[in-house]
Amino acid sequence: MYMRYFARLYSAMAGPRPVVLSGPSGAGKSTLLKKLMKEYNGVFGFSVSHTTRNPRPGEENGKDYHYVTREAMQAAIAKGEFIESAEFSGNMYGTSRAAVEAVKARNLICILDIDMQGVKNIKKTDLNPIYISIQPPSLDVLEARLRARKTESEESLQRRLDAAKVDMELSKEPDMFDVMIVNDNLEDAYGHLKDALLEEINMVKKINMSS
Ligand SMILES: Nc1ncnc2c1ncn2[C@@H]1O[C@H](COP(=O)(O)OP(=O)(O)OP(=O)(O)O)[C@@H](O)[C@H]1O
Ligand SMILES: Nc1nc2c(ncn2[C@@H]2O[C@H](COP(=O)(O)O)[C@@H](O)[C@H]2O)c(=O)[nH]1
């Protein structure tokens, strides 16, 4: 009983655990995390990654990503400013220490939306997140969703589908993820995601109410 009490106390002092959302491009990570941040306003904070890709219509610099040149990103990585970085579909992506610290400083649950290389690299750090995999019902459905999103050139789409095949295989490895969610029906997938995060959500609500 005491052990459980001290474990809870320690975890409250350390702050809420971050959450890693990963899965193939087009699986629905952004859709799910935007729903979560809207319903639980003031509970979650998004770790804004850096990328060398161009912004899509509607995306905002500093909100969706920090859009940078390859040279600037390579220089920042060399200076040790990133906890992880990866090359994905012809562009660089990475999580800066500052992005995670900014969310932690507000005592919010930090959400990272990263690819499988990022997952492997985060596992080498002391971040200790909850690892959640968002998977599509099938490769065909994934392709249809990516095409319907109309954000990719044919070349980029094919690269993303190739990466998705690797991702879908790797995600089956034991212990890679704490929670696996198949995003077939959006509401069902969202319900599953909320259930997985309920303990952390309640912890943050309690801390915020008492401060
Ligand atoms: N359950 C669902 N049913 C049908 N369409 C969906 C579902 N979930 C997401 N979508 C749609 O699929 C497309 C891809 O979703 P989303 O952009 O959230 O994927 P993502 O995993 O964040 O992709 P990326 O890694 O490329 O950013 C979007 O157009 C979204 O509206
Ligand atoms: N390893 C990292 N992967 C990241 C990061 N930010 C985003 N991503 C992943 O990149 C792909 C493509 O994203 P898109 O916005 O161009 O569609 C997707 O799988 C993201 O999860 C990051 O900082 N590190």
Ligand 1, pocket-test mutation among 20, 25, 29, 31, most atoms within 8 A of CB = 31
Q: Supply the CATH classification number for the domain 14-210.
A: 3.40.50.300
ipTM exceeding 0.90, yes/no: yes
Tens-digit pLDDT profile for residues 140-163? 999 999 999 999 999 999 999 999
Which is nearest to 116 in space by CA: 27, 196, 189? Answer: 27
Average pLDDT value for residue range 67-86? 98
pTM metric for this prediction? 0.94
Is 97 part of the annotated catalytic residue set? no
Ligand 1 atom with the smallest distance to the CA of 185 is: 1
For β-strands 19-22 and 109-113, DSSP reports them as: parallel
Candidate list 8, 70, 106, 149, residue with the active-site label: 149
